[in-house]
Structure 1
C-alpha cells in the first residue's frame, strides 16, 4: 500500500533528461572562439613577406617584355654631319704596319750634310778623350736608337713637346675614335700612345716612333669625325715613316747646330770687341773668320755650303709629307671631315694675322718669299686642291 508515493518521485526525474541548459552552454563558447581580433595581429607580419618574395621578380619581367612592342626605340640621328660611328668591330691588320715612303727617304738624305758636320764636331770633342775617342763617336752614332725607346719618347713628349697623359675622361673620348681610325687603316692601335696638349688652338703632332698628340681644343670642340680625321692624318705620318725620320735627322744634326750657334755667338762678340780697335780690328776679325770658313769648306769638299740650302729643301719635303698624310686620312674616308678641319685652321690663321695687324697699327704684315719657302706646311688652297679627288660620296664603313 506504500506504492502511491513513489509515483510522484519519478515525475521530477522527467525534466532532468530535458537538457535545455546544456544547449545554451555551447553558444557562449562561440565568443570564446572569436579569434578574428587575433588574426590581424598575427597574420599580417607573416603573410606579406611570404607573398612578396615569390612575386617580387615578376613586375620587372612584365615591364621589360611589354615595352619593346609598344614603344620601339626611335632611330637616333647623328648630332653633327661629321659624326661617325665608333662601335667596336673586327680589325684586319695589314701586312705592313710601317713603311718608309719617298718623303721619309728624302728627309734622311737631306740630313746627310748635317750628319757629317755633326760627326766632325763630335770627332773634335771626342779627341779630348784620347784613346776613348772612337768609343765616344760610336756611342753618339748608336744613340739614334733612343728615338724608338719608350721612356725616352715619354721624356721627349713631356719636356720638349709639352704633352701629358690623358685623363680617364679624355681617354674614354679618344680611344673609341682612335680604334675606328686604326680599324680602317688595318693598323694595331696599341702600338701608339695617345697624348694631350693643354692648348686652346687646333693642332696635333706625331713624334718619334709611337707618340700621337692632340690639343685639348681639338679633342673637346671637334666632332668625333673631324677628330678622327686629325688622328688619321697623324697616323699617316707614322705609317709613312715621316715622324721617326724627321726626329732621327734632327737628333744627328743637333751637335752641328749647337756648334753653329756657338760660332755665331763668338763671332758676334769678337765683332763688337773689334769695334774698339777701329777699322783695323774689324778687318782682322773678318779675315780671320773668312779664312776659317774657307779652310773648312775646302777641307770638307764644299759640303758645308750645302747646309745653306738644306733648310729650304727640308721644308719642301715637309710640305710633301703633309700632303701624303692628308691623302692617308682621305683614303680612309675622312676627306670631308679633313676639309672642314682645314677650313677651321685657315680661319684660325686669319684671326692670328688680324691680331698681328692690329698690334702693328693696322698695317698688314706681308709674308716674304723666303718665309714661304721655309714653311713646313702647304698653304690652305694647295691642301684643298689635293683633296678634291677624295671629296666624293664615300661608301659607308
Structure 2
C-alpha cells in the first residue's frame, strides 16, 4: 500500500502547532466542610443595669381644713342686654335719637347672620292644612246666609239676577289680586310700603327666612305698620306686615322669628282662607247689622204707642226670625256658635305658625318674642288694676273662648320639643 504524497515544502513555511493527544487533567473539586455542631449561644439574656422608678410620697398632701368645702368658681356668662318694651319718649322738637337698639346689636344672643346663600325653591309655595279647611267649613253657614241675601238683592235686577250671583261668587278671586291686596293693605290694615332704609333692614332678614323655608321671597310683599306695638300680620295671598317698633327694636333673629311665623300663616293657607271666608260672609253680616239697626229703631218708635206697639214689633221681628230659620233648615242657628268655633281654629292656626317658625331654627328667638309679648300683657293688666283701685281685672270665660290667640304658657308648651335640641 502506497503512502499519500506529502505536501510540498515551500520556503518560509511553518509547521502547524502540535496539539496534545489527550485532554488536560482538571483539578479535583472538594465540597466545603461545615461544622458538625450548631454554634453555642449564651443561655441567659444580657444583664442590663436596673433603673429605679421615681419615688412618690406615700402620704397624700395636706390641705388646709375648712368648715365647709369651697365649690369651684366659674365665670358667670354675660347677661343679654335688656331693652324696653316701648321706646322712650323724646322731648318735643328733638331730632330722632341715633342710639343703638337691639336690632343693631350684633352681640345679642338672638342675632343671626344674614349672609347671602342659595335659595332652594320649594315645589309648593303654599298649601292648605287642616286649620285652613276647618275655617272654610265653619264659614259655610255664613256663606249660605250671604247667598240668600245676595239672591234677594239680585231679584231687583230682573233677568240679570243670575249674573249678579255669579259675579258675587267670582269676586272671591280678588283675594289674590295684587292691586286689590294693596288697597286692602292701605285702607283696611293701615299698612304702607317700607322706606329704602327700612327695606335695607327687612330684606336681608326676610331673605334668610325664605331661604330656610325654601320659598321664593318675591312671592310675598313686605309692608310696615306705623305702630309702637309688637305685632305683625299676614293677610290675603301675599301681604306680610310688621310694625315699626318690631322692626327697629327686635334683634334680627327675633325679627326673623316674627316673619317666619307670619310666613307659616301663608304657607298653611290660614291667611287666604280666613280672608276668603270673611269676604263671603260679608253680605250676611251687613244684612244682620241692618236688621239689628231697624229693629232697634222700630222698638224705640213703638214705645210711643205703648205696650201694644212694643208687642207688635216683637211679634213681627220674631215671626221673621222663625220664618227665616225654618226656611233655611235651622242653619242660621249655627251662626250663633260660629264665632267660638272660629276662635278655636284661630288659636290652632297660631300654634301651627309657631311650629313653622321653630322648625326653621327660630325656636329660641320666638320664645324671646313671646316673653316680650307676655311682659307687655302683664304691664297692661297692672295698669288696668291700678285704674280699678288695685283690684285685678279678670278676663271672663266667654272672652277667653273668643280669644284668637293661645295663652302664653300654651304656646311655650308646644315649643318645648323644638327647644330640647338647644339644651
Matched ranges for 1:211-360 at <5 A: 211-360=239-388
* Counterpart position of 1:382: 410
Structure 1 partner of 2:394: 366
Structure 2 counterpart of 1:67? none
**TM-superposed deviation, 1:371:** 0.7
Deviation (angstroms), 1:193? 0.2
1:393, 1:303 → 2: CA distance? 48
For 2:182, the equivalent position in structure 1 comes to 154
Normalising by structure 2, what TM-score? 0.74
Q: CA deviation at 1:394?
A: 5.0
Separation (CA, whole Å) in 1 of partners of 2:266 and 2:369: 20
Equivalent residue in structure 2 for 1:111, among 135, 139, 145: 139
Match of 1:7 in 2: none
Deviations 1:173-225 (A, max 9, x none): 00000000000000110000000000000000000000000000000000000
Equivalent residue for 2:153, pick from 125, 142, 146: 125
Give, in whole Å, the separation in 2 of the partners of 1:338 and 1:177: 14
CA distance in 2, matches of 1:184, 1:169: 24
**Cα displacement (A) at 1:111:** 0.4
Picking from 163, 187, 196, the partner of 1:168 is 196
Tell me, yes or no, if structure 1 residue 203 matches structure 2 residue 231.
yes
SS in 2 for 1:196: strand
Q: Deviations over 1:355-384 (max 9, x none)?
A: 222333333222111111011000111000
Partner residue in 1 for 2:165: 137
CA-to-aligned-CA distance 1:303-358 (integer Å, 9 cap, x gap): 00000000000000000000000000000010010011001001111122222223
How many angstroms apart in 1 are the aligned matches of 2:155 and 2:131?
36
TM-score by length of 1: 0.79
| Higher Rg of the two aligned structures | 2
> Where does structure 1 lack aligned partners over 5 or more consecutive residues?
1-76
Q: Cα RMSD over matched residues?
A: 1.2
Query: Which structure dedicates a bigger proportion of its chain to helix?
Result: 1
Q: Shift in Å at residue 279 of structure 1?
A: 1.9
Unaligned stretches of 5+ residues in structure 2: 1-104
